[in-house]
Amino acid sequence: MTIAPVPVDEVVPGPRPGAVTDEQLLALYREMMRVRAFEDEVIDAFAKGLIPGSTHPCIGAEAIKAGALAALRPDDLVFATYRGHGEVLIKGVDPVGTMAELMGRATGICKGKGGSMHLSEPSVGLMSTNAIVAGHIPMAGGAALSCQFRGTGQVVLCFFGDGASCEGEFFEAMNMAMLWNVPLVFICENNGVAISVPTAKSQATPDIADRARGFGMPAAIVDGNDVLSVRAAVSEGVARAREGGGPSFVECKTVRWERHSAFSAGGSDPLEQRLAWQRVDPIPRFRKSLLAWGIATGERLDAVDEEIRAVMRDVRAEAERAPLPGPESVYEDVYAP
């Protein structure tokens, strides 16, 4: 890899960036922490059998989600993968409804029909997460085309992983996006492994961004565990798109937490993997910078952590109390009226 996440204890915080306020910095931290706390509850709930099927926590990728989404306007649109709880929460979807959806409850944001992999709240611009790898990428392209067609000035972010970058649809969508100059930013989370196959065995070239460059698309590669780097690169892409400059590609290098999904078995020793990502955990890394820049004290940040965890504990408890949908509900929403 040309770039890799820097281990936390090797990080030397640079000068405090000027174009970002204290509130924005703290907001970034809070969003990352919210996702972390939510996902920790999800993992625990899954282990206790409260979440049916499978779920794909995005622990370790919080910086990518928070950094990218910080570049958006509220009416911009987001398409994400089945590892998309982070995008969902940060885009502004109700966490209780989200947790209830994971638990298959009637009060879930998709009435329990979609579960962890099929989340949607178009009212806040979270169009859809998707269970088919790369399945959502052409849809994101079409949504961007729609924004252009309707002249709304909206921009679309499309999140996906390194696995998706080998699917045919990915290339097709990039080609069409460049052809039609649509307002779309591709955000590729390259954590070095698909389900079990490492990128060294599946990618002909190490940098996925090169593929975008092959279509003439502006592309950047960043340390995905540095929330501010992500934010900067995505903001540039969003600005370009909004001005009618067409699509951009941001490849975020990162390291995967443990296993592909809470359901997956097999693979290398989970402990070894956990140590690997803990070494580059984006949240303590950002905390280090915040402390260094005097944005907050350690105690303050601890209090923030505790407050957020308490909120997420309540979120989970409330979702657990929600009822399951009745069996007749399976016949609803097959067709739109």
Partner 1 sequence: MSEAINQALREALDRPEPLMLIGQDIGPYGGAFGVTRGLAEAYGEERVRDTPLCESATVGYAIGLAITGVRAVCEIEFFDFVGVAMDQIFNQAAKLHYFTGGKLTVPLVIRTPIVARMGMGPQHSQSLESWFMHVPGIKIAVPSNAADAYGLLRTALLDNNPVLFVENVRLYGRRGDVDPAGDPIPFGRARIAREGSDVTVVALSGMVDEALTAAEQLAGRGISVEVIDPRTLAPLDMDTILASLRKTLRLAVAHDAHRTLGFGAEIAARCMEEAFDYLDAPVERVACKDVPIPCTPSGIEAVYPNAADVVAAVERLVA
List 40, 169, 236, 320, residue binding partner 1 (CB under 8 A): 169
149 and 182 in contact (C-beta within 8 Å)?
no
- Smallest CA-to-CA distance from 24 within 232, 197, 320 is with 232
297 and 26 in contact (C-beta within 8 Å)?
no
Describe the chain by its helix, strand, coil percentages, rounded to 5: 50, 10, 40
Could you give the CA distance from residue 295 to residue 223 in angstroms, rounded to a whole number?
22
Could you write out the DSSP letters of every residue in 141-188?
Answer: HHHHHHHHHHT----EEEEEETTGGGSHHHHHHHHHHHHHT-SEEEEE
Q: Which positions from 136 through 155 interact with partner 1, judged by CB under 8 A? A: 136-147, 149-150
- For partner 1, which stretch binds (CB under 8 A), given 67-75, 132-140, 253-261, 309-317? 132-140
Query: Cβ 39 to partner 1, closest distance in Å?
Result: 21
- For partner 1, which stretch binds (CB under 8 A), given 57-65, 104-112, 273-281, 308-316? 104-112
78 and 125 in contact (C-beta within 8 Å)?
yes
Query: Cβ 58 to partner 1, closest distance in Å?
Result: 20
Q: Is the Cβ of residue 169 or residue 305 nearer to partner 1 in the bound state?
A: 169
Position 111 contacts partner 1 (CB under 8 A): yes
Backbone angles phi, psi at 101, to 5 degrees: -65, -40
Q: Is the Cβ of residue 151 or residue 266 nearer to partner 1 in the bound state?
A: 151
Q: Which positions from 58 through 97 interact with partner 1, judged by CB under 8 A? A: 77
Query: Cβ 239 to partner 1, closest distance in Å?
Result: 21
Judged by DSSP in three states, 219 sits in: strand
Position 336 contacts partner 1 (CB under 8 A): yes
- Here the tokens at position 210 are 């090169």
List 1, 47, 132, 303, residue binding partner 1 (CB under 8 A): 132
The residues that bridge with 161 in the sheet, in sequence order, are 189
56 and 87 in contact (C-beta within 8 Å)?
no
Query: Cβ 102 to partner 1, closest distance in Å?
Result: 13
Query: Cβ 62 to partner 1, closest distance in Å?
Result: 25
- For partner 1, which stretch binds (CB under 8 A), given 14-22, 45-53, 174-182, 313-321? 174-182
Could you give the CA distance from residue 99 to residue 42 in angstroms, rounded to a whole number?
8
List 7, 135, 153, 214, residue binding partner 1 (CB under 8 A): 135
Could you give the CA distance from residue 101 to residue 314 in angstroms, rounded to a whole number?
15
Q: Which positions from 10 through 69 interact with partner 1, judged by CB under 8 A? A: none
Query: Cβ 236 to partner 1, closest distance in Å?
Result: 23
Residue in this structure with the two tokens 């903001």, named with its chain if needed: 235
Query: Cβ 165 to partner 1, closest distance in Å?
Result: 14
List 45, 109, 164, 219, residue binding partner 1 (CB under 8 A): 109
- For partner 1, which stretch binds (CB under 8 A), given 105-113, 283-291, 294-302, 310-318? 105-113
Could you give the CA distance from residue 234 to residue 251 in angstroms, rounded to a whole number?
10
* Interacting residues toward partner 1 by CB under 8 A: 77, 108-114, 118, 120-123, 127-128, 130, 132, 135-147, 149-150, 168-169, 172-173, 175-176, 179, 332-337
